[in-house]
Amino acid sequence: MGAYSGSTALVTGASKGLGEAYARELARRGADLVLVARSGEALDRVADDIRREHGVEVETEAVDLAAADGASRLIAELDRRGRVVDLLVNNAGAGTVGPFLDSAPDRNVASVELNVVALMNLTHVLGRRMAARGSGGIINVGSTAAFQSMPYQAAYAATKAFVLSFTEALAEELRGSGVRVMAAHPGATATGFFDHTTATMNPAYTDSPERVAAKTLDAYAKGAVNAYPGRVIMRVTTWVGRLLPRTTVTRTTGRLNRALGLHRAHDLDTPASPARP
C-alpha cells in the first residue's frame, strides 16, 4: 500500500476494462485519482463508485487521446486545476484485428496515435515534471503481444513493441533519478477489448482485470522494469521470441492465430475479408 497511499495517479482508459480495474485497485491502496477516457458518463459512474467505496478524491476528464491535440488538452486541464500527478498509468489502448490489408486504415492510425503518440506525449510532459521534482512514476501498459510480431494483429502488436522498447530505454535513462518507469505486459484479459470486432476471447485462457491490476501494482511497488501480470504461461510465451529465429516465431504465431480464426476476424464496421489467394 505504501507506494500509492497519499499519491495522485492519473489513469488513461479508466472508463472500463483494465483501466477501471487499475483505478479501483489504486484507490483501494489509498491513491487519489484522475480518470481519463472519451466517455464522460462512464467515467463519472466509475468515479462516483470509487469515491463511495474508498473515500479518495477522484476527478475525471473526458478527452480523445487519439486526437492530435488530445494529450495537450489533458495537460492544459490538469494545469487549470493545479493537479500534480505522481503516478501516470498509460493504459488506454486499442487495435484492429484480422488481415492488415482488409482493416480500416483510420483505425490503425488511431491505434498508433493512442498507443504510441499519446503515451509518448504524456510521458514526456509529466515525466519532465516528475524529474524536476525528483519523484514520481510511470506505468505503461504494453502486452505480451510486444514480444513477437503478430500476424492478424500486425499494427497493434507493433505499437506494443514500441511500448516495450521505449519504456525499457526510459527506465534506464531515469534510473537513480527518483522517477521510475515500468511496462506491464498482460496476456489475454477479460475486458471489452474485442467488443468492436468479430473476435472473441476464450474465457478459459483469460485473466481477470482485477487480478492483472493488483499484480501490476505489486510489481511496480517492488521496483520492476517489466511486469508480467498474467498467468505464468503468458510470461513463458514471451521467452520464445528470444530463443528461436524471428521467422520461425512469426510463422508459428501466424499458425496459432489462424487456428484461433483471427485470419477471418474483422472490425464490426469493416466488411469480412474477401477470399485471398
Ligand X SMILES: NC(=O)c1ccc[n+]([C@@H]2O[C@H](COP(=O)([O-])OP(=O)(O)OC[C@H]3O[C@@H](n4cnc5c(N)ncnc54)[C@H](OP(=O)(O)O)[C@@H]3O)[C@@H](O)[C@H]2O)c1
Binder of ligand X out of 26, 31, 37, 234 (CB under 6 A): 37
Binder of ligand X out of 188, 214, 227, 234 (CB under 6 A): 188
State yes or no: residue 13 binds ligand X (CB under 6 A): yes
Please give the single-letter amino acid code of residue 211. R
Nearer to ligand X, 1 or 76 (CB): 76
Q: Which three cell numbers stand for residue 64?
A: 480523445
Binder of ligand X out of 7, 96, 123, 191 (CB under 6 A): 191
Binder of ligand X out of 46, 94, 158, 227 (CB under 6 A): 94
Reduced to 3 states (helix: H, G, I; strand: E, B; else coil), residue 260 is coil
The one catalytic residue in 156, 205, 220, 228 is 156
Number of other CB atoms surrounding residue 60 within 10 Å: 22
State yes or no: residue 65 binds ligand X (CB under 6 A): yes
Alpha-carbon distances, residue 258 vs 153, 155, 216, 233 (angstroms): 11, 17, 30, 20
Measured between its terminal Cα atoms, the distance across the chain in Å is 55
Nearer to ligand X, 143 or 237 (CB): 143
Reduced to 3 states (helix: H, G, I; strand: E, B; else coil), residue 145 is helix
CB of 196 to ligand X, least distance (A): 8
State yes or no: residue 136 binds ligand X (CB under 6 A): no
156 given a catalytic annotation: yes
Name the burial class of residue 256, with classes exposed (0-12), middle (13-18) and buried (19+) by CB atoms within 10 angstroms of its CB.
middle
Name which of residues 201 to 240 contact ligand X (CB under 6 A).
none
State yes or no: residue 64 binds ligand X (CB under 6 A): yes
The residues carrying an active-site annotation are 156
